[in-house]
Amino acid sequence: MSAITTLTFTNTTNITFPTSISTKNPIFHTTHFTKPLHLQNPLSISLRKPISTIVLCKGSVESESEVPFVPEDEWLQKLPEKTKPLYTHSLPCIEAWLKSLGFNQSKDDRALWVVNKSDWCAQLSLDVTDLYVRYLKSGPGNLEKDVERRFSYALSREDIENAVLGGP
């Protein structure tokens, strides 16, 4: 069972977290406004100092096993039709699809996937606007240099799969 701890800071206008927390937990970040905030209704302005409340959840080892885990088979079942553009797929569905094709996700870069086939080796990168595939000359086969291809997320999953698995 989880224990919930609540910390309330009254008469506080600025809360600063140590740098080590903000780099590990992207939830804590600083926002800088370039323009002053103007409210539509001046009567809605409160003269009280702001009150900030932070809720910290502390879980035990038992509670971590209680977190619902969705197996990748379930994400494969939720895949849209293979003729639909890849941009209609959720990220967990795309990840489950890549795993089903034999790709392994990099531990250093979560957007990078690697596959080793009998006659070629490739890295697949999920970029913001496109999907990139680099067939590596260092892998099996006789490539003279790395071959890179770019695919738009507007292409269907079927077309991307056929193109990527077709090799260099």
| 137 within 8 A of 146, measured Cβ to Cβ | yes
CB atoms within 10 A of CB 147: 15
pLDDT tens, position by position, 3-41? 454 444 444 444 444 444 444 444 444 444 444 445 454
Residue 137, pLDDT above cutoff 70: yes
Higher pLDDT, 147 or 54: 147
In this prediction, residue 9 carries a pLDDT of: 45
DSSP, residue by residue, 2-45: -EEEEEEE-S-S-----HHHHHH-TTS-----SS----S-GGG-
Q: What is the mean pLDDT of residues 138-152?
A: 91
pLDDT tens, position by position, 54-100? 444 343 344 444 545 556 688 999 999 999 999 999 999 999 999 99
Task: Read off the tokens for 91.
Answer: 């990220």
In this prediction, residue 161 carries a pLDDT of: 96
In this prediction, residue 8 carries a pLDDT of: 46
In this prediction, residue 68 carries a pLDDT of: 57
Q: What is the mean pLDDT of residues 97-116?
A: 95
Picking from 100, 90, 96, 4, the residue whose alpha carbon sits closest to that of residue 54 is: 4
Q: How far apart, in whole angstroms, are the C-alpha atoms of residue 128 and residue 108?
A: 18
pTM: 0.58
